[in-house]
Amino acid sequence: MAKSIFYHAGCPVCVSAEQDIIGLIGESNVEVVHLGEASDRIGEAEQAGVQSVPALLTPNGNVLHINFGASLADVKG
């Protein structure tokens, strides 16, 4: 199975969701990207359709926005 990508920004909501997602689909099936640290990947996330974090980009290209931590505008700021 292709990997999913979990985008987050280190907020408490994000960390909690990350643990849940990893528990559900397995650590080896998810790449975790911290957009606060890897700000060079914000453009890639936006292009994929990520509007807020935490969000999970599935292998088939869908974006699941999970709970609500921060908008991408906040992450950029």
Residue 5 neighbours by CB under 8 Å, 6+ apart: 30, 31, 32, 33, 48, 56, 57
Interface pattern 36-75 for its own copies (x via CB under 8 A): --------------------x-xxx-x-xxxxx-------
The one-letter amino acid at 54: P
Among residues 12, 24, 40, 73, the one that binds its own copies under rule CB under 8 A: 24
Give the integer Cα–Cα distance in Å for 28 and 18: 13
Question: Which residues contact its own copies (rule: CB under 8 A)?
Answer: 4, 16-17, 20-21, 23-25, 29, 56, 58-60, 62, 64-68
